[in-house]
A and B are shown apart, each in its own frame.
Chain A
Amino acid sequence: MNAFGLAPLLLIFPVIGVLFNGLVGRKFVEADREIGEKWTGWFGTIMAFSAFAVAVSLFFSLQANGHHAEVVHLFDWINIPSAGFHVPWAMRIDTLSVTMMLVVTGVGSLIHIYAIGYMHGDKDFSRFFAYLNLFLFFMLILVSGSSYLMLFVGWEGVGLCSFLLIGFWFSFVDKNGVWKNANAARKAFVVNRIGDFGIVLAVILTFWAFGSLEFDVVFETALEMFKSKEPLLLFGQEVAFGSVVTAITALFLLGATGKSAQIPLYVWLPDAMAGPTPVSALIHAATMVTSGIYLIVRSNTLFEMARLSVGSELLFGVISTPDLVALVGASTALLAGLIAFTQFDIKGVLAYSTVSQLGFMIAAVGMGAYVAGMFHLMMHAFFKALLFMSAGSVIHGMEHGHHHLHDHDDDDFDPQDMRTMGGLRNRMNITSVVYIIGALALAGIVPLAGFWSKDEILAHASANDGGIFTAVYVMLVIAAISTAFYMGRQLKMVFFGEPRHAAAAHAEESSNLMTYPLIALAALAIVGGLANLPHFAAEHGAEAGGFSYLALEHWLEHSLHAFELTEEHVLHMPHTPIQIQWSVAIISTILAVGSISLAFFVIYKDTSKANSAPDPLQKTPIWWTSVLPLNTLYMDYFIPAFNRMAKWVAISLDWVFWHDFVHNRLVRDMFVTFAAFTSSVLDQKGVDGIVNGVASTTRRLSGFLRQTESGYVRSYALSIFMGAVLLVIYFMFATAG
């Protein structure tokens, strides 16, 4: 019994949602706010759930099918026989795509429910749900497409949806007169374009090199070329196979740095938090930003072949692409983890945290730990969606509290500023509990979801010697410590201590529509780790009887051809430990617990601080330093130094250098200058001159030619006659010559 025939429904349900909400939803909401919101919101949600149901049925079909990948052909799309270019619309149902589908639709459905509560009262309620469903549609195309071109369609589509949703409140102008949301949306779109350009080039190169874009054919052809070790003929030149595959994978990496917010293109993600919170949770934490990881995992054989390239085939002759992937991921994880220290915006911390966690995943897949990367992707989807939505709930609560105050004299009140919060644990019970669960899961505390997935990545990094693995390991461990620290800081600032603002004292719990999905996600964040528990002792075999250890690994290995090829000794993947690395696990747990506790003691140790307190790190005495001379050392040297470093990273490195200098000055200003040059000199004087000249000449010509239309039949007949004569003459000459 299999349900592969149902696969098209996966795409059809979201489309129905888009059509309903996009075309008639608004009418419903306008006619009757209450009922209209219920109808449109739940309609979109039910469509998401239906897609989830289809994904589940595909899951069981795959199990019944012995995990064999199935390609469901929908219809022909592009067909150019003479170029051998044939791309159908087809869906590839295998364990990897189904995993992604389950995450996208499952987490997506919960976020839909939450959004019904969160968007309540918004004037564009139905537009929001239309966009959300459209996003699901494109995301599902991205993960289910059977070729790189289909993947690219989805890739661009989710980019568009991201743009639309970040700028959802596009008409919002902040108190400085800045179009904050519209700017953020544009920034995300433009920065992503750089990465998308890489994908386009990679797709073109893939077609040139392998003659197809279908995953099956590409990997098959690549493998044959890899085995035969013969150079390819590209543009009339012989190119080593290693160089080609390195180029393709490097371009994929460029695409991934855009969509998955890695160095150097991560700058759009923190701004993207301007969008509504359900969007941050769905697109900018759980699903879309992971498509870079999906792309790399999908292309695992290509990356593993690139790993084996040597000498001049390497990237710049120095480094292989997977190594570069791992380094990019690890440094992003570290950098973003440090930056998160200095954020006061509750969503800002989570935004940098997302960048950092995406770095973990990218580092994992770069090291060949594809399963660990996917595992972390899933777990991260659970707890980061949970954290974002809880943060949304906190913001909602704060806004409520602020409205409750009746005196709106302080217009500067920012409901997202953690400095105005504090003590919310007592006002918002459910939210605080689920938030703490999410934060602990993210920090990697046993036995929550994040512990298992993060530990698997660290274990993988430590189990392989040499090369970049040690560097990656060190960077990731430090990043993990920072993770625990900034989450501890956030918990302390938001939920503990005394309220630092009247709004916080009057905050209210959000509605059930918002809290129930949070509880569901919190449950997943607690037990999610069961999906891929490692073996606890060496004597357990690979197959551990009834209890399914490493379930995800056994599930995904059917889609990861590189594993099989490694067993056949065609490829050589880095070794992955299948049992728990006690040393790594214990060290990371101790560090995480220590780091959280440290944060708790450092941040706002005393009771309420003014809500404008500049930096809690600086002013906090620590109890154990007060009895030891360490206090002076700590207060006078460590904290300022640390503070300076964090600040330097955040302000100098990130904003001044990277955002302002590189992105604004170099990229944007150069572009503006170039655009100004082209528009003023080239375009207005040169091109416009030519165009205007051409246009006026054309118009004059047109006016002249129009006069030949005299309206007299005799002149028309003459024209026909002359034409006939000229044709005869032409024929005479053509055949004579």
Chain B
Amino acid sequence: MDFQPPIINLLIVAPLLITMGAGLFLMLLNIFCKRDGVYYWLTLAAIAAALVQNVAMWGHEYGTFIARGSYPMVVSDNFSVFLNSILLLSGIGTLLISRNYLHRTKLERPEFYMLMLFSLSGMMMMGMANDLILVFVALELLSIPLYIMAGLAVSRDDSKESAMKYFLLGAFSSGIFVYGIALIYGATGATALPAVYAVLEAGSPLAMAGTAFLMVGFAFKIGAVPFHMWTPDVYEGAPTVVTAFMSVGAKVAGFAALLRVFTVALPAMSDAWMGALALIAALTLIIGNVVALMQTNIKRMLGYSSIAHAGYLLIGVAAAGQHSEAVGSVLLYMLAYLFTTMGAFGVVIALEHKLGEGIMLEDYKGLAKRNPWLSAAMLVFMLSLTGVPPTGGFSGKFYIFRSAVEANLWWLAIIAIMTSVVSGYYYLRVVFYMYMFDGDRTEPVYAGTALKTGLLIALVGTLWLGFFPAGWFELAYKAVIGTTQLLAGG
């Protein structure tokens, strides 16, 4: 048989190429240039360019890397464009809130920017991958830079510890994930998602074990219970900017691949995995929210909070089969989560005057007197995380809960609402500390222009989504239609 070259259209992966290329370029530049500002601006420009290119692909469906007679390995559709936009925005957000912080904490090294660009590339590939092998590659591409980034603050033991833990556990879960791919391949003889769909039959024991193992890999990335244990430790130990990046980027990427793999390749077993996801969601909601109650470290609290939010997002995934707007709700929720979490971490960073200091709840006492605008912004973000109207967090929860109810997941909706109430306790405690106590310090914290810009964007985004969710929801809904029948609801 003749060798036939695969069809390759690089334009489709242009956003990836831009971020990846920029990362490599910075690596070379590192030999000549030692000025930190250059890296910052180049990274910002690269991400912005990738964002423009990404948005330009809205409304089309492409596939590339197509071997003859096979399926494309990489696809680009509204779904991936929407998620990649969230990821790129999270990159921009991280840069904005990191500018002054890195400088202040003496962490500003070119490696930070390169690693971030590589990780971002991996995250974007997660949503575009149409083949299990490529999903795995993407997963590693996104994870490995994150392991290093978590340990960026080499002067601190907890940072090194968190990097080591993250790496070991990540490697462990990746191993299980690859095993899952192998089992699926064993059951179907294929790794391309549409090919798996075409061959797979419900009830094959190999495929079932494979599905369970894939779920472990994804659940680890998104920090769902009981695969969440690393989250608080790593969130606490890693430099705060890395935590912010991780909490949005890694989670969104994990959900992107989870949604595509499970709805494109594995609808045959949808009853089983939806039930499992609903159970995981319930556990995640309860444990994430309940343990967060006792935290006095803001970063750790936000770590548990991010676990809890993974639970809310999982509700939407679990409802995907029964309700046509469920996946759209998940996307909307991610958008709200992006703005709110970035904003909250922005405030945390503003207060962290020295590496690892100023991140306890105590440090927020009397902030409202010192920095009224910063406190007002934090108030909005905390309300949004709790899910109080008119914030983006409310809109997201509203659509997600509605999907749960429409999909007859009443019990899950009730757990979600009750845990939301519980979450009010620890989110509003921050507000309480800011507004009701007098602090020891009197001088306002210095935020810096980039951070302020980032906070402003996050604030506008959070409130915009809260006041006018309709247009955004329509966008999120459009992002889902056409990807697969199951995504759009069956």
Contact = CB atoms under 8 A, between A and B. Distances in A.
Interface in A684-734: 698-699, 701-703, 705-706, 708-709, 711, 713, 715-717, 719-720, 722-724, 726-728, 730-732, 734
Given A706-B291, A731-B276, 16 more contacts: A699-B294, A702-B294, A708-B229, A709-B232, A711-B233, A713-B165, A716-B230, A720-B216, A720-B220, A723-B226, A724-B213, A727-B213, A727-B216, A727-B276, A728-B212, A732-B208
Interface stretch (A74-82, A479-487, A613-621): A74-82
Interface stretch (B33-41, B83-91, B470-478): B470-478
Interface of A: 75-82, 86, 698-699, 701-703, 705-706, 708-709, 711, 713, 715-717, 719-720, 722-724, 726-728, 730-732, 734-735
A698 B275 CA distance: 26
Enumerate the 10 nearest inter-chain pairs by beta-carbon distance, A residue then B residue, closest first: A79-B470, A716-B229, A727-B212, A734-B272, A723-B226, A731-B208, A76-B470, A702-B294, A728-B212, A702-B293
A734 B275 contact: yes
A596 to B, nearest CB: 53
B446 interface: no
Contact of A703 (B269, B271, B294): B294
A34 to B, nearest CB: 29
B283 to A, nearest CB: 10
Contacts of B291: 702, 705-706, 709
A709 B202 CA distance: 37
A76 B172 CA distance: 48
A705 B290 contact: yes
Given A698-B422, A723-B226, A731-B208, A82 B324 contact: yes
B226 A728 contact: no
Given A75-B468, A702-B291, A703-B294, A81 B227 contact: no
Of B164, B168, B229, B323, most buried by chain A (CB within 10 Å of CB) is B229
A716 B474 contact: no
29 contacts: A75-B471, A79-B470, A79-B471, A79-B474, A81-B477, A698-B422, A705-B287, A709-B232, A709-B233, A713-B168, A716-B230, A717-B168, A719-B229, A720-B169, A720-B173, A722-B226, A723-B226, A724-B176, A724-B213, A727-B212, A728-B209, A728-B213, A730-B212, A731-B269, A731-B272, A731-B273, A731-B276, A734-B276, A735-B202
B216 to A, nearest CB: 5
B215 A716 contact: no
Contacts of A78: 469-470
Contact of A720 (B176, B203, B271): B176
Interface of B: 164-165, 168-169, 172-173, 176, 202-203, 205, 208-209, 211-213, 215-216, 219-220, 226-227, 229-230, 232-233, 269, 271-273, 275-276, 279, 287, 290-294, 323-325, 402, 406, 422, 468-471, 473-474, 477
Of A86, A699, A724, most buried by chain B (CB within 10 Å of CB) is A724
B105 to A, nearest CB: 24
B233 A706 contact: no
Contacts of B227: 719-720, 723
Contacts of A730: 212, 272, 275-276, 279
Contacts of A80: 402
B156 to A, nearest CB: 16
B233 A727 contact: no
A735 B169 contact: no
Contacts of B402: 80
Contacts of A75: 468, 471
B216 A723 contact: yes
Contacts of A732: 205, 208
A711 B165 CA distance: 9
Given A76-B470, A699-B294, A720-B220, A734 B213 contact: no
Nearest to A85: B470
A706 B292 CA distance: 9
